[in-house]
Structure 1
Amino acid sequence: MDHLIFEVGTALVIVAFAAWVANKLNFTIIPFLIIFGMAVGPHMPQLGIFDLTFGHSADFITSLGRIGVLFLLFYLGLEFSIGKLIKSGKAIAIGGSIYILINFGLGLLYGYLAGFSFLEILIVAGIITISSSAIVAKVLVDLKRTANPETELILGIIMFEDIFLAVYLSVISGMILGEAASLTSMLLSTGKALGYMLLFFIIARKATPFLNRVFDIKSNEIFIIVIFATLFFVAGFSETIHVAEAIGALLLGLVFSETKHRDRIEHLVVPFRDFFGAIFFFSFGLSIDPLTLGDAAWLAIGAVIVTIIGNFTAGMIAGRRGGLSHKGSTRIGLTIVSRGEFSIILANLAIAGGLSAMIQPFAALYVLILAILGPLLTKNSGAVFNVLNKVFRWQERAAKKESSQSN
């Protein structure tokens, strides 16, 4: 136990130093946490009493990181309204479909051109398709964009991805590990995810007065215990029915956003969101061995280029179809470009199924690059839009169209 506490303490010192460096450079903390996590880990030698391999504590740190994802998505849900999401349902369905079709299609093509086998192509396509909800949530909060009009569609696409994720994991794991993956099981997975989300929407719309009474607790101590107990129970239950635990946290946040306790919950959750969220990104870096990345460099760089193009195109089409401006649509594609936990899960599935050993370092480097580039592109989306606007003259054309309609 002494080793565990000391190692966790050492990890927190590294996290704190990474946060300090990011603050000094006035930059988002995410890339620094991942890079500092990569700098230590199993590949590091032990330096006296400092075991930077984190041999005793790696699993515990990973568990703390999973808690960070829950808080990030729960907080993101608190920032939104179920009513607005329901009104945007058609735009979300269209936008999510466009996003999946473009990125999954490009992933299939890229895997084929890279010379992978059929099953490996499916793995690569999955790795390229799904964005990291944890990184997206963190960036939106850091850049104070949760109130932006395009963020509703971003949130909708994240939830749409989870429906795709439920089906895809069921199918691909069955094909690779030899389990049954029938049409019935696919439909069951899809229906279960959709039904679960619908249940939360109904609760948010119909049970708000009841929730207001139940959580009308004067003591902050008891209030936060009750809220956190509900959060962890709902997230854990979600996982048991094969809906991502983070999506369960997001849906619960959406429910609580409809209650009169929203501001109080938000105020109490913020410190936990920041603390555990930082540990998640550090633990993510800790899982990447930089010594294994060299052979997959060009493959990963090519996938990064494909992903940026696919995400920007999908975001632009989805945003414009949803009635957003060119600037808002640009932000969509650049915000959801980050890749993370799901890509690593798929890579591990490939290894378990005896597929190409190249997939794991490819996925690690690909995720690392986009985990760094994603926040950069999101932060500088305005500059990207200004450059593209000079080329395509979007605002000029919009002004002319508006002028002609008024006349």
Structure 2
Amino acid sequence: MHSAVFLIEFGTVVLALGLLGRFAVRLKFSPIPLYLLAGLVFGHGGVVPLGGSEEFIEVGAEIGVVLLLLMLGLEYTAGDLVGHLKTHAPAGAVDFALNAVPGAAAALLLGWGPVAAVVLAGVTWVSSSGVIAKVLGDLGRLGNRETPAILSVLVLEDLAMAVYLPILTALLAGAGLVAGGLTLAIALAAVGTVLLVAVRYGRVISRFISSDDPEKLLLVVLGLTLLVAGFAQQVQVSAAVGAFLVGIALSGEVAENTHHLLMPLRDLFAAVFFVFFGLSTDPATIPPVLLPALVLAVLTTLTKIATGYWAAKRAGIGVRGRWRAGGALVARGEFSIVIAGLAVTAGVEPGLGPLATAYVLLLVVIGPLTARFTEPVARRVMNRREARAASTPASDTSVPVARTEAGAREPESDDVPVGSV
């Protein structure tokens, strides 16, 4: 009887996710908010609470986090990460200062304590690479001049997670100063070792794992990832970091083939993860934190726009491209939920999960809108200011030529793809 209930419940959840995903595709929107809402519907206090399949969904959610980080690691080579770290470190520092600090300050103002402050700082800091990549593709901006500046910020955030997550895991486990320092040292040593090995011996590792049989390749990579993630979790480094490092270590044809093989599994278990996070959140707890979430969403929307603008300006991008870069970085999503999920599991603060849910729901909807409309709105505002300045008698009616940091005339078509010039 229990088996039948499990199959019915889990089948209903998966079917609902599939239908919601199709609905999101038709709207050209991220399905993440719909998955979270589905979790709220099926969770405790929801319309149709689950019973028999909740434990399995919890395990699936853990696998979803591991696969999300593995696929992220597959996107980069060790050389790419080292190069980005050397070149774009200032942009990463500005991103952290403008977007992590508001989250930490909000947690302290709400009286949640320093551990919750570290958690909420991560929630507000990290943009959603998945949502942003999809939005840029939908808008036809993947080849734009400002896109490398956007990607540099995202890459630095992803790399920072390899350091941030072990720190967070140690804090959530209640580790003291010595134990926490040891955990961080282990994490940094692991990251450094993997990067070094991947740079020097990445091709050898990839050849060893490579297989012409997709089934064997899938089993080897998935088994290795889960094994490394489990050992990482055992030493409190974070399973997510372990999976991320496995992805970095693979390169070339193996990484590409693994990416194609694991993408359907990643999408399935990631959807289950978002549902599980919604399951663990009582809908009745969201209204009390809706106002703080809205204030935090508005504030960090402005700070993300400022981050993208600064990063694009530093890269020599024109004014229009700077605004587009800022608007594109606003969306939060999978990593914010991963970070909040760790805190919810550890029982840090009851209001943290609902606040993170409301915050992500807001920004995963606002993000695509800011990506589309930030630059046109900024352009209209600037045109109106120029018109007002030109209409005043004391003003100089000549319009200055916009110049880049190098002093050269700024190209009028800074939205032209790099490959077309």
Q: Same fold (TM over 0.5)?
A: yes
With over 3 angstroms needed to count, the CA separation of the structure-2 counterparts of 1:44 and 1:299, relative to structure 1, is closer
| Corresponding residue SS for 1:163 | helix
| CA deviation profile, 1:143-170 (whole Å, cap 9, x unmatched) | 4668842224312212214413433453
| Contact 2:136–2:328 (CA under 8 A) maintained in structure 1 | no
Do structure 1's residue 284 and structure 2's residue 277 form an aligned pair?
yes
With over 3 angstroms needed to count, the CA separation of the structure-2 counterparts of 1:224 and 1:88, relative to structure 1, is same
Q: Which amino acid aligns with 1:374?
A: V
Aligned ranges 1:377-396 → 2 under 5 Å: 377-378=367-368, 380-391=370-381
CA positional deviation for 1:391 = 4.2
Aligned ranges 1:128-167 → 2 under 5 Å: 128-131=120-123, 136-140=128-132, 142-143=134-135, 148-149=147-148, 150-167=150-167
**What's the counterpart of residue 390 of structure 2?**
none
**What's the counterpart of residue 395 of structure 2?**
none
Do structure 1's residue 205 and structure 2's residue 171 form an aligned pair?
no
**Number of residue equivalences:** 381
| Corresponding residue SS for 2:408 | helix
Name the stretch that deviates more: 233-242 or 9-18: 233-242
| Contact 1:73–1:250 (CA under 8 A) maintained in structure 2 | yes
With over 3 angstroms needed to count, the CA separation of the structure-2 counterparts of 1:198 and 1:112, relative to structure 1, is closer
Do structure 1's residue 216 and structure 2's residue 198 form an aligned pair?
no
CA distance in 1, matches of 2:232, 2:242: 6
TM-score norm. by structure 1 comes to 0.80
With over 3 angstroms needed to count, the CA separation of the structure-2 counterparts of 1:193 and 1:387, relative to structure 1, is farther
Identity among equivalent positions (%) equals 21
CA distance in 2, matches of 1:14, 1:234: 32
CA positional deviation for 1:12 = 0.9
| Contact 1:103–1:128 (CA under 8 A) maintained in structure 2 | no
Aligned ranges 1:252-263 → 2 under 5 Å: 252-256=246-250, 258-263=251-256
CA distance in 2, matches of 1:163, 1:400: 33
| CA deviation profile, 1:35-63 (whole Å, cap 9, x unmatched) | 12212222246xxxxxx321121121122
Q: Which amino acid aligns with 1:346?
A: A
**What's the counterpart of residue 338 of structure 2?**
341
| Contact 1:91–1:322 (CA under 8 A) maintained in structure 2 | no
Aligned-CA RMSD value: 3.4
**What's the counterpart of residue 15 of structure 1?**
17
**What's the counterpart of residue 32 of structure 2?**
30
Give structure 2 stretches of 5+ with no counterpart: 384-400, 412-421
Q: Which amino acid aligns with 2:363?
A: L
With over 3 angstroms needed to count, the CA separation of the structure-2 counterparts of 1:172 and 1:286, relative to structure 1, is closer
**What's the counterpart of residue 54 of structure 1?**
50
With over 3 angstroms needed to count, the CA separation of the structure-2 counterparts of 1:327 and 1:127, relative to structure 1, is same
**What's the counterpart of residue 126 of structure 1?**
118
**What's the counterpart of residue 48 of structure 1?**
none
Match of 2:358 among 356, 359, 368: 368
CA distance in 1, matches of 2:260, 2:17: 23
| Contact 1:95–1:319 (CA under 8 A) maintained in structure 2 | no
CA distance in 2, matches of 1:172, 1:224: 33
| Contact 1:69–1:134 (CA under 8 A) maintained in structure 2 | no
With over 3 angstroms needed to count, the CA separation of the structure-2 counterparts of 1:86 and 1:54, relative to structure 1, is same
Name the stretch that deviates more: 137-146 or 79-88: 137-146
Give structure 1 stretches of 5+ with no counterpart: 46-51, 353-358
CA positional deviation for 1:104 = 4.0
TM-score norm. by structure 2 comes to 0.78
CA distance in 2, matches of 1:62, 1:134: 24
Q: Which amino acid aligns with 2:275?
A: F
With over 3 angstroms needed to count, the CA separation of the structure-2 counterparts of 1:32 and 1:318, relative to structure 1, is same
**What's the counterpart of residue 355 of structure 1?**
none
CA positional deviation for 1:372 = 4.4
Q: Which amino acid aligns with 1:299?
A: P
| CA deviation profile, 1:68-110 (whole Å, cap 9, x unmatched) | 2222332232222321221121345434433333334333443
CA distance in 2, matches of 1:94, 1:126: 21
